[in-house]
Amino acid sequence: MAVRLKNKRVADMVAPLIQIRRLVKTYQRAGENIPVLMGIDLDVARGDFVALMGPSGSGKSTLLNLIAGIDSPTAGEILVDGVDIATLSDAQLAQWRAANVGFIFQFYNLMPVLTAFENVELPLLLTGLSKKERKAHVENALVD
Ligand SMILES: Nc1ncnc2c1ncn2[C@@H]1O[C@H](COP(=O)(O)OP(=O)(O)OP(=O)(O)O)[C@@H](O)[C@H]1O
Ligand SMILES: [Mg+2]
């Protein structure tokens, strides 16, 4: 039986937080394949701070979108905290992102028809938080 601590497998807690294996991402545009990530492996340790550097168009945003579960890989494994997010359905991924991912986009991606409060509250609608709890979170995030 696997050793568990706070309901997590100890083996998962000491393993790298992110383990990427043979990751492939190919976009299709106008009937043409655009290979971007061609079988990459990457480990990121728990608590590490990593900067991803490379020329424009080299696939940095593509990789981050895959690690954050915003996009799906063409092939390969993306293990985050023991979960292979490449195998999750869209609905499971949405729940997983709401619980695990914080992401600041290059171009902000705010909803222009929503207020600042509503933009911050939006992802919290996917969680089990009450309206009052959401308000407390939003005010905490927006007050400097
Ligand atoms: N949705 C898409 N459909 C088709 N091709 C795409 C798509 N998104 C990105 N690409 C292509 O994939 C390649 C990698 O793009 P990506 O945005 O990941 O690069 P980047 O390293 O983040 O660049 P930058 O430094 O400009 O942000 C580029 O050739 C880009 O044109
Ligand atoms: Mg980018």
pLDDT at 8: 75
Residue 33 banded pLDDT, cuts 50, 70, 90: very high
Tell me if 29 CB under 6 Å of ligand 1: yes
Q: What is the domain partition of the chain in residue ranges?
A: 4-100, 110-144
Residue 10 banded pLDDT, cuts 50, 70, 90: confident
Tell me if 31 CB under 6 Å of ligand 1: no
Cα angle, residue 70 at apex, residues 19 and 49 outer, rounded to 5°: 45
Taking the domain 4-100, which CATH number applies?
Answer: 3.40.50.300
Q: Which SS3 state, helix, strand or coil, does residue 123 take?
A: helix
Residue owning the nearest CA to atom 11 of ligand 1: 57
Residue 1 banded pLDDT, cuts 50, 70, 90: low
Tell me if 27 CB under 6 Å of ligand 1: yes
Mean pLDDT of the chain: 91
User: In whole angstroms, what is the distance from residue 127 CA to residue 87 CA?
Assistant: 21
Tell me if 38 CB under 6 Å of ligand 1: no
Contact in structure between 66 and 78 (CB atoms under 8 Å)? yes
Contact in structure between 43 and 16 (CB atoms under 8 Å)? yes
pTM of the model: 0.84
Q: Letter for the amino acid at 141?
A: A
Q: Could you tell me the distance, in angstroms and rounded to a whole number, from the CA of residue 34 to the centre of ligand 2?
A: 16
Residue owning the nearest CA to atom 26 of ligand 1: 56
Which atom of ligand 1 is the closest one to the Cα of 62? 18
Question: Given ligand 1 and candidates 61, 104, 105, which is best to mutate, with the most ligand atoms within 8 Å of its CB?
Answer: 61
> Residue 14 pLDDT > 90, yes or no?
no
Share of the chain above pLDDT 90, in %: 72
> 53-96, pLDDT tens digit by residue?
999 999 999 999 999 999 999 999 999 998 999 999 999 998 89
Give me 99's structure tokens: 């619980």
pLDDT at 6: 78
